[in-house]
Amino acid sequence: MDDNVFKCDFLIIGGGIAGLSAAIEASHHGKVILLTKGKTGETATEYAQGGIAAAIDEQKDSPLFHMQDTIDVGAGLSDEAAVNVLVTDGVKRVHELIKMGVRFDKIGDVYELALEGAHSHRRILHAGDATGSEIERGLAARLLKENLVDVRNFIYGKDLILKKGRCIGAEAIDIDNNKNLLFLARATMLATGGLGQVYLHNTNPSFATGDGIAMAYRAGAEITDMEFVQFHPTTLFIHGVVETRFLISEAVRGEGAILENINGERFMPRYHLLKELAPRDIVSRSILEEMRRTGSDHVYLNLAPIGADKIKHRFPKIYEECLKYKIDITRDKVPVTPAAHYFMGGVKIDTNGRTNIAGLYAAGEVSSAGIHGANRLASNSLLDGLVFGYRAATDSISYSTSTEIDKAISESRLKPLKQVPSRLKYEEIKNMKEKLKTLMWEKVGIIRKGSDLKHAITELARMSKKINYMPDNKYELELKNMLTVSLLISQAALARKESRGAHYRTDFPMQDDIHWRRHQVFKKRKLFFLP
């Protein structure tokens, strides 16, 4: 076999919580290759501060309460069966994390459970304000200990390989050596994370460019709920810092911090009964309205109600980061603004992580089982990746026993690998990315309207014509993927003529359950609706 072609039983593209969870389970049943675009640990999971939601307090909480909170925030579009799987399996998976050695905060022998926006009970397990990093450490330690997974860093998934309607692997780019590689697999899973980098202001790592969604779309997978992008209300606002912004966790508000405008007035009680703990879409829009009303480019988060000692103990990472900008959160108010944070839509999956393409699975932020609906409940994202990464691996183990897969792989006549020089100069790519990100922020952001969305679609389509080929280098491929998912977001937002959850249109400001309590699904330029 060509030294650029590799075979395995399970190919996992992405190394966050979903990919690692899947890899651990699949590794006991066959050879696993896990590809990461960067180095191990560079994922959105690492950035997660607040915690992971699970109803582990059997005396005061239950999965039923967690399920109801999730559905309430989802604004009528959460799939109840999928949510039930999330909250019930979630308790089991979290206990497994604890057995692996993940160190969640305790008070004595009892886990210190936090409260976050729109949760009816304290159920957020956390490790200071670096929960994602601690979970990723625990999962990675398990992988290293068992030494059963072939982890390959700086390998960028390019396109899926299909044969007779089945996914049998993926083509990828070796970033360090600038060459193409082929990975053939009995089952392939996308765990590539989100797409926040298509927005000028965001909280995501630099590699969150929608790669998995774009790959799946090109392969003919169904893509759903593209209009639902969640903007986190409170990110650190520093003049001159434009792109990736430091997140000020929702847990800060859960512990008592309040939002004030530049005049020192608390404003959230005017907008929602839950005040600072209202759903994220409401808090984000309220902040924008206060900024407009007071002529400011930010508001303030006041942590004084929490107390200095608790702030340093509970939020050490936030405390240290703010000190870099001479902001002492134990006594200073923190300037904050909303930024793109999480994507509710993605590759459409069932509760076992299956897509509409045989042999192709997805889990985590790249996917959508309909759990989050139109708006995600705080701290459900890590749980989503953990639960559905495991379930996708379990189902792929059964799928991989089919003899039809061997036949499809053996009969494959793969195109010869070739190097294609970059057609766009680096500066041109950089400028196009900046234009795309600004366009998405200004025209397809927190508050939308039809004329802006049409303008965005026209500009994005024009930009896409410059890269209407399949690139063979990271920079062009990222740009192509960003354009693909940006067009899908814009088209879905234009088509949904109502306001629901994270999707808000000034020209259709009301929620329309008669016509729009349904999901939009894209597949190779075709748009159809699911009830």
Q: Which of the residues are catalytic?
A: 280
| Measured distance CA(259)–CA(274) in Å, rounded | 13
Can you list the positions of beta strands (E) in 215-333?
Answer: 223-224, 229-236, 258-260, 299-302
Neighbours of 528 (CB within 10 A): 10
DSSP 113-161: -B--TT-SS--EE-STT-HHHHHHHHHHHHHHHHT-EEEEETEEEEEEE
Instruction: Identify the residue whose tokens are 């699904």.
Output: 521
Facing residues of 184 across strands?
A: 7, 169
Facing residues of 334 across strands?
A: 301
Going 163 to 164 to 168 to 172, the CA torsion angle's sign is positive
Is residue 253 a contact partner of residue 234, using CB atoms and an 8 Å limit?
yes
Count Cβ atoms within 10 A of the Cβ of residue 439 and give its class: 0-12 exposed, 13-18 middle, 19 or more buried: buried
Facing residues of 10 across strands?
A: 32, 187
Neighbours of 326 (CB within 10 A): 7
- Pair type for strands 519-523 and 223-224: antiparallel
Give the CB-side neighbour count of residue 420, counting CA atoms within 13 A: 13
Q: Whose CA is closest to 230, among 446, 66, 49, 388? A: 446
Give the CB-side neighbour count of residue 466, counting CA atoms within 13 A: 17
Is residue 174 a contact partner of residue 58, using CB atoms and an 8 Å limit?
no
325 to each of 153, 300, 310, 373, 438, how far by Cα in Å? 33, 15, 21, 37, 25
Is residue 375 a contact partner of residue 344, using CB atoms and an 8 Å limit?
yes
